[in-house]
């Protein structure tokens, strides 16, 4: 029954979501470029591969970042991965896009 025992710090039930990660995620959202949101599974890697090919074929100069931190992913409001973020805007989530689909999205979003 240890009434006077020092209180132990317990990890948050969501493991990674804390104020520091939320603030970092908000900073990342403001950065231009492409972000792949996902745990690093095969689907996420496949999407990243498609994005890299599409960017190369369109001869775009965009930074591609893969975010695996669930706190940062959640800050985008994404509940199913992989997700594709372009200049802070979620443009696809929950599926692996083909190279042609990524090229179409990039063409439309970069024009407007």
Q: Which residue numbers are catalytic?
A: 41, 44
How far apart, in whole angstroms, are the C-alpha atoms of residue 49 and residue 91? 17
How far apart, in whole angstroms, are the C-alpha atoms of residue 51 and residue 112? 19
Task: Give the residue among 34, 31, 39, 25 at the shortest CA–CA distance from 82.
Answer: 39
């Amino acid at each position: 029954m240890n009434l006077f025992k020092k209180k132990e710090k317990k990890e948050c039930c969501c493991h990674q979501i804390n104020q520091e990660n939320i603030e970092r995620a908000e900073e990342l959202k403001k950065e231009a470029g492409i972000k792949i949101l996902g745990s690093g599974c095969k689907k996420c890697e496949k999407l990243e591969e498609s994005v890299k090919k599409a960017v190369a074929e369109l001869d775009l100069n965009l930074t591609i970042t893969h975010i695996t931190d669930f706190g940062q992913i959640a800050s985008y409001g994404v509940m199913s991965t992989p997700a594709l973020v372009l200049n802070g805007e979620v443009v696809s989530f929950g599926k692996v896009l083909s190279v042609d689909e990524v090229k179409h999205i990039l063409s439309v979003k970069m024009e407007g």
